Amino acid sequence: MNYFKKILKRIMPQQNYEEYWKLTNAFTDYNGGKFLDTLAVCIKFIDDYQTEEYSDEKYSRLQDEIYKVNPINHISIRKSINQLVKMGFVNSFLVSYHPQAKEYVEARTNKKRETLLSKIVYSNSSFNRAVNNESSIKQINFLIQSLIEKGKLSKEEIIALMLVDIEGYPNSFITEFEHQEYVKEANDIGFIKRKYNQIAYLYNLLGKLDDLVFIGEDLYFKEDAEQIFGEDLKAITKRRDPYLHRLYKNQLQEECEEIYGNPMCVLEHLSYPVLIASHIKPFIESDEIEAYDPNNGLLLSRTIDSLFDLKYISFTDDGTMLFSNRISEDVKDFWKDYKLEDTILNEKRKDYLAYHRNLMTTIDARA
């Protein structure tokens, strides 16, 4: 009996599908001020109290220090610390940090931080790690080694990897046969439908690692992609202009301020501390005008952005929410009464939404 069948035999009777790669994601912008400020506070705190053993009281004091520079609720602060631990910047029990973490904070360019991020995540990340729990299981290493073996990883294959129990797995990468078994299992148990947030978190991290590139929904090493796609790669993998993107988000925030009084999720009407400037027509498919056109955007919460970006939901011209057939009924029931208001549904935005609806229909037809 192969490894995969042994695992299934163990988990199937209990229907326990919750053992998967879990990445906390309080931040999506690893160059942003809040991420860097939080990391800087953690580094200074560890330096100041390095000889003090871990305790809940010590952990609470660190949260208070972070609150001084980022006054959000303590649940979000704990989530941000755990993200730093899982990504490998800070080590468990708050007694040390990655040797290059301080260099990351002090880097003068985003490009330098991109390289440092890749080194830190590859050498020290573990999604099983927590502030009060150490782990040597390295999911990103396993994923990279699997990419080396296969040459590319499809979206389904990346998602399927999230179900692999690396600690008990006999190899440093997944074999082709067992990978396809995991893909089948992920679809059978509805993992993709239920864990879109976690999937989006992993995709966000992979998209920021040096020398990796997404072509459509397939992950490649950049050198391999250049050989396969040649000059077309530049158009396929165009990068956001950080200044234009900032202006784009500012315009969406200003629109909310004019309509609602302050920036908020335009669907939930809640003023979250973090809001995403979500493209309607995907950035990668937009021309230079469309990419930074505020009509091609909606200011959304992280949860709604994840659903919208992955085409699990869309909207009609009157703002009614549409659901993919890939989404579970309980999620549909929860969101079914939410809709976009007419005040933000101008004609240009309706044109972009028509494009988005078509993408969702196309993906559903392939599923």
Residues above pLDDT 90, as percent of the chain: 59
pLDDT band at 281 (very low <50, low <70, confident <90, very high): very high
Cα(251)–Cα(260) distance, rounded to whole angstroms?
14
Per-residue confidence (pLDDT) for residue 4, from 0 to 100: 44
- Mean pLDDT over residues 44-48, rounded? 98
- Mean pLDDT over residues 269-284, rounded? 91
Query: Is 142:172 a contact under the CB 8 Å cutoff?
Result: yes
- Mean pLDDT over residues 285-301, rounded? 92
Tokens of 185: 């299992």
- Mean pLDDT over residues 97-111, rounded? 93
Per-residue confidence (pLDDT) for residue 2, from 0 to 100: 46
pLDDT above 60: residue 17: no
pLDDT band at 25 (very low <50, low <70, confident <90, very high): confident
- Mean pLDDT over residues 253-280, rounded? 94
pTM: 0.65
pLDDT tens digits, one per residue of 174-205 = 988 888 899 888 888 888 777 878 888 898 89
Torsion of CA 168, 173, 176, 178, to 10 degrees: 10
Stated as kind and residue range, the H or E segment containing 212 is: strand 212-215
**Comparing 284 with 240, which gets the higher pLDDT?**
284
Q: Where along the chain do its domains lie?
A: 3-21+138-229, 33-107, 242-366
Q: Within a 10 A sphere around the Cβ of 234, how many other Cβ atoms?
A: 11
Tokens of 130: 């927590």
Return mean pLDDT, the chain.
88
Cα(261)–Cα(26) distance, rounded to whole angstroms?
25
Tokens of 351: 């044109």
Per-residue confidence (pLDDT) for residue 196, from 0 to 100: 77
With left for phi above 0 and alpha for psi between -120 and 50, is residue 138 left, alpha or beta? beta
Residue located via tokens 């950080």? 242
Per-residue confidence (pLDDT) for residue 234, from 0 to 100: 60
pLDDT tens digits, one per residue of 132-191 = 999 999 999 999 999 999 999 988 899 999 999 898 888 899 988 888 899 888 888 888
Per-residue confidence (pLDDT) for residue 16, from 0 to 100: 44
Per-residue confidence (pLDDT) for residue 214, from 0 to 100: 86
| 3-state secondary structure string across 136-192 | CCCHHHHHHHHHHHHCEECHHHHHHHCCCCHHHCCCCCCCHHHHHHHHHHHHHCCHH
Per-residue confidence (pLDDT) for residue 37, from 0 to 100: 96
pLDDT above 60: residue 10: no
Stated as kind and residue range, the H or E segment containing 277 is: strand 276-279
List Cβ neighbours of 230 (8 Å cut-off, separation of 6 or more). Answer: none
pLDDT band at 253 (very low <50, low <70, confident <90, very high): very high
Per-residue confidence (pLDDT) for residue 239, from 0 to 100: 67
Per-residue confidence (pLDDT) for residue 226, from 0 to 100: 79
Per-residue confidence (pLDDT) for residue 18, from 0 to 100: 56
- Mean pLDDT over residues 247-264, rounded? 94
pLDDT above 80: residue 221: yes
Per-residue confidence (pLDDT) for residue 176, from 0 to 100: 85
Per-residue confidence (pLDDT) for residue 231, from 0 to 100: 58
pLDDT band at 363 (very low <50, low <70, confident <90, very high): confident
List Cβ neighbours of 246 (8 Å cut-off, separation of 6 or more). Answer: none
**Comparing 203 with 67, which gets the higher pLDDT?**
67
**Comparing 244 with 17, which gets the higher pLDDT?**
244
